[in-house]
Structure 1
Amino acid sequence: MKQNRQHYLLIIPAVILCFVFFLLPMMKLLWLSLTEQQGMSYWYILTKPIYLRSLLSTLLLSLVVTAASLIIATVVGLFLTRYEFKGKPVLVAMLSFPLVFPGVVIGFFVIMLAGRQGLFAELGLALVGDRWTLAYSISGLFIGYLYFSIPRVVLTVMGAAEKLDYNLIEAGRSLGANRWQLLRDITLPALTPGLISSGSICFATSMGAFGTAFTLATNLNVLPMTIYTEFTLNANFAMAAALSLILGFITWLCLAIARRQGGSSLGMGG
């Protein structure tokens, strides 16, 4: 009995950290969002176009980034798992390279690629006499988010595909199944837990990513930038708090659903 009590004492530091760094800030945000402006912040989010547009555009962007990342990374991950070729370790290392960069650096990469003096601009100037500029729009933000989302999914798909029983695939071929049927009935079901976990991480990261949006924030109206503007420029703490809580709730809900559907494989997506 005494030994069990000693074991319970070990959880005290975790409880303290959770209370100080999670519960207290969350309670403060909730208090700000409800006490200032007579608690109308949440109503304003649904009725004022600037806030509603910011929320919907962030949701749509995150969904598109997640879908594109899953499609591209699944193809790449399966290819890298099934085939051996010279330079494969270097290619895998390069694919995981974006994970080491913060969002601000990725924003600079997008500017160098699709900014006013970037490669796309020079190419457009040479071909049609007009600079192609995507960096400072939602398209540039999509490129940036895709850049750091794909590696997460590729690594997860590769980890799941390595455990795939290829005897099932050979059995399906012997029974006359074509490539699409093998992918639909054998490969994708085996990869589903990993795809759910990595997709949820991509969605949550895209919803809350700030560094890349801040670097490219010329004509961007996404939720992290709206929260930053309300807090720093407008001193509208109630609205910033309400938007933060909504952002946190959406990402938490996504991760909770993914954990329920994907089981313990959610940890693979981080």
Structure 2
Amino acid sequence: MQDSTFSTRTRVFLLAPALAVFCAFWLLPLVALLQASAVPNAFTAYREVLTNSRYLHSLLATIALSLAVTAATLVLSTIAGLFLARRELPAKRLLVALLTFPLAFPGVVVGFMVIMLAGRQGLVGAISLRLTGDRWVFAYSLSGLFLGYLYFSIPRVIVTVMAAATKLDASLEEAARSLGASPWRIFIDVVMPALMPALIAAGAVCFATAMGAFGTAFTLATDLDVLPMTIYTEFTLNANLATAAALSIVLGLVTWAVLAVARSLTGATVAATA
């Protein structure tokens, strides 16, 4: 009886720090958001979010941008990750380090890099002006934001793909090859099904990151019509706390729904990837 009581106290003691962090950084802020969105009543702010064309357009644009970033990231990272995992290159460690280097950059730095590349005085504009006589500037649009999100999303997925690729059973590919399967069929029928749980998990985390990313969008322009910027505008410029809180809850629900679906498809892989 005493051993059981001691064991229970030990588990409670070990869980106490995690529970304190959970309450301080997730539960209490969520309760505060719910309370703020319920002013003056529990439905006014959410009704406005779902009926106001500006808010709906912002939500749909954010979802579309996040889906585009996720799709492009998965394609590029799968190709690069498989290549790096299956090839021994002289400078492989250096190449992997360079590809994963953006993980060290905050969103604000990524935004400035996009401006230096595709801004009014950026490299793309200078080259296009010399070649076509017209300066191409897209850093301050959704295209620039797409580029910035892609830049910091690819490293996360490359690392996941490389880790999953090293665990693939080479004998299955050899068996398919001996049966006359082409490299494309081997990739579709053998490699992709084995990588799919990792890709689903990485894609869900990539989508969630793009949905809530703020620093890059804030650096590029304050009038970008994506949900984090809309929330910022409502809270700081319009002093509309209820609507900002409701928009935050909606953003969270969309993100949580995607993560929940991915978790149901892949088990605990999403949590491990996140």
User: How does the TM-score come out when normalised to structure 1?
Assistant: 0.96
Cα deviations by residue, 1:169-222 (Å, 9 ceiling, x for unpaired) = 111011011122111111001101110111011000000000000001154100
2:264 paired with 1:260: yes
Cα deviations by residue, 1:130-188 (Å, 9 ceiling, x for unpaired) = 11001000000000000001111111000000011111111101101112211111100
Between Structure 1 and Structure 2, how many residues are aligned?
A: 270
Of residues 17-26 and 250-259 in structure 1, the stretch that sits farther from structure 2 once superposed is 17-26
User: CA distance change for structure 1 residues 195 and 128 in 2, over 3 Å: closer, same or farther?
Assistant: same
Supply the AA of the counterpart residue of 1:14: A
Query: Shift in Å at residue 266 of structure 1?
Result: 2.0
Residue 3 of structure 1 is matched in structure 2 by 6
2:164 paired with 1:160: yes
Query: Shift in Å at residue 22 of structure 1?
Result: 1.9
Query: Shift in Å at residue 7 of structure 1?
Result: 2.0
CA distance in 1, matches of 2:40, 2:29: 16
Residue 227 of structure 1 is matched in structure 2 by 231
CA distance in 2, matches of 1:173, 1:138: 43
Residue 58 of structure 2 is matched in structure 1 by 54
Residue 198 of structure 1 is matched in structure 2 by 202
Q: Is the 8 A contact 1:121 1:131 kept in 2?
A: yes
Q: Is the 8 A contact 1:227 1:244 kept in 2?
A: yes
CA distance in 1, matches of 2:109, 2:198: 28
Supply the AA of the counterpart residue of 1:99: L
Q: Is the 8 A contact 2:222 2:229 kept in 1?
A: no
Supply the AA of the counterpart residue of 1:216: L
Supply the AA of the counterpart residue of 1:119: L
User: CA distance change for structure 1 residues 242 and 218 in 2, over 3 Å: closer, same or farther?
Assistant: closer
Residue 24 of structure 1 is matched in structure 2 by 28
Query: Shift in Å at residue 265 of structure 1?
Result: 2.2
Supply the AA of the counterpart residue of 2:187: L
Q: Is the 8 A contact 1:136 1:218 kept in 2?
A: no
CA distance in 2, matches of 1:143, 1:82: 27
CA distance in 1, matches of 2:98, 2:35: 45
Q: Is the 8 A contact 1:157 1:194 kept in 2?
A: yes
Supply the AA of the counterpart residue of 1:3: F
Supply the AA of the counterpart residue of 1:153: V
Structure 2: give runs of 5+ residues left out of the alignment: none
Cα deviations by residue, 1:95-139 (Å, 9 ceiling, x for unpaired) = 000000000000000000000000110011101111100100000
Supply the AA of the counterpart residue of 2:209: T
Q: Secondary structure at the match of 1:130?
A: coil
Residue 145 of structure 1 is matched in structure 2 by 149
CA distance in 2, matches of 1:38, 1:190: 46
User: How does the TM-score come out when normalised to structure 2?
Assistant: 0.95
> Equivalent pairs: percent with the same residue?
57
Misfit runs of 4+, over 6 Å: none
CA distance in 1, matches of 2:131, 2:238: 44
Q: Is the 8 A contact 2:140 2:221 kept in 1?
A: yes
Residue 124 of structure 1 is matched in structure 2 by 128
User: CA distance change for structure 1 residues 216 and 73 in 2, over 3 Å: closer, same or farther?
Assistant: same
Residue 237 of structure 1 is matched in structure 2 by 241
Residue 135 of structure 1 is matched in structure 2 by 139
Query: Shift in Å at residue 36 of structure 1?
Result: 2.5
Q: Is the 8 A contact 1:161 1:191 kept in 2?
A: yes
Supply the AA of the counterpart residue of 1:2: T
